[in-house]
Amino acid sequence: MSDTAAGEAPAPRVSPDNPCPFLRALVAGGYVGGHVVPLPKLTETIDRATGKTGLAALNAGAKIFMVAQMANGIGPFSQIRSLLQGAILDALRNGPLDKHGAGSRILDQHAVVHEDEIARLATFGSDHKAPDGSIERGLSAAEIKIFMAANFQRAKDEHPPSYGILHCYYPLLMLGEWPVLLDIMGKGEGEDRYLSVAEVRTLFVEERFPDRIVALLNG
């Protein structure tokens, strides 16, 4: 017997070649398709999830559009194809944004989630006070920077020659990952803002957003 309720469509299966947890959740939730997504559609959807309005929304949208445009390649042909057709979400692995082992390693190349890497993520965080008054493990902006630096150093220690060139643009790659998650999914304001480890786990394991993000996406 199917676990899917009557009249309720099953969640789309997300391609292993889409390595971005945020994009995977967008596909699984049916907010965008899993193959080719026009850049305006992808940008508008992610921008909606930020909850930003006015000038802040325009600024966020411009950054999102720029990253999406180069996701499948930085050559002239790839850029034109992306502009005319969109981003190919099931062909992002090994593209310009792939960190080739210098990322968190929570999700492997076969889209298998590694719980030990989530546990490792938690060791870089600290206890934070949630808006409801509870205490939970999370990472602030400063803690995320330390985590990202440790990820790169781990990869470099394992394969020194391979990461010489990546060292030049790795910081730019990382600006589009964990800091963006903190900006969109973080709790609290200013220096007190943090990314919940529990919500990160739900994002990776269940490919599902917190209810407050779902409300923005459906708004």
User: Tens digit of pLDDT for each residue in 163-190?
Assistant: 665 666 676 677 778 998 999 999 999 9
Report CA-CA distances (Å) from 83 to 35, 40, 71, 215: 15, 9, 11, 29
**Mean pLDDT, range 92-107, rounded to an integer:** 86
What is the per-residue pLDDT for 167? Answer: 64
Backbone angles phi, psi at 84, to 5 degrees: -80, -35
Q: Name the residue with tokens 């907010």.
A: 31
pLDDT confidence tier of residue 146, bands split at 50, 70 and 90:
very high
What is the per-residue pLDDT for 7? Answer: 43
**pLDDT over 90, % of the chain:** 63
pLDDT one-digit tens code per residue, 50-72 = 999 898 888 888 888 888 888 89
Residue 194, pLDDT > 90, answer yes
Round the average pLDDT of the chain to a whole number and report it.
88
SS3 state of residue 126: strand
Report CA-CA distances (Å) from 91 to 44, 52, 65, 106, 205: 21, 29, 17, 19, 21
Q: Is the pTM of this model over 0.85?
A: yes
How many Å apart are CA 161 and CA 85, to the nearest integer?
A: 36
Question: Could you tell me if 195 and 182 are in contact, meaning their C-beta atoms sit under 8 angstroms apart?
Answer: yes
E strand or H helix that includes residue 68: helix 54-70
Residue 149, pLDDT > 50, answer yes
Provide DSSP, 155-219. HHHHSGGGGTTHHHHHHHHHHTSHHHHHHHH-BSSGGG-EEEHHHHHHHHHT----HHHHHHHH-
What is the per-residue pLDDT for 68? Answer: 86
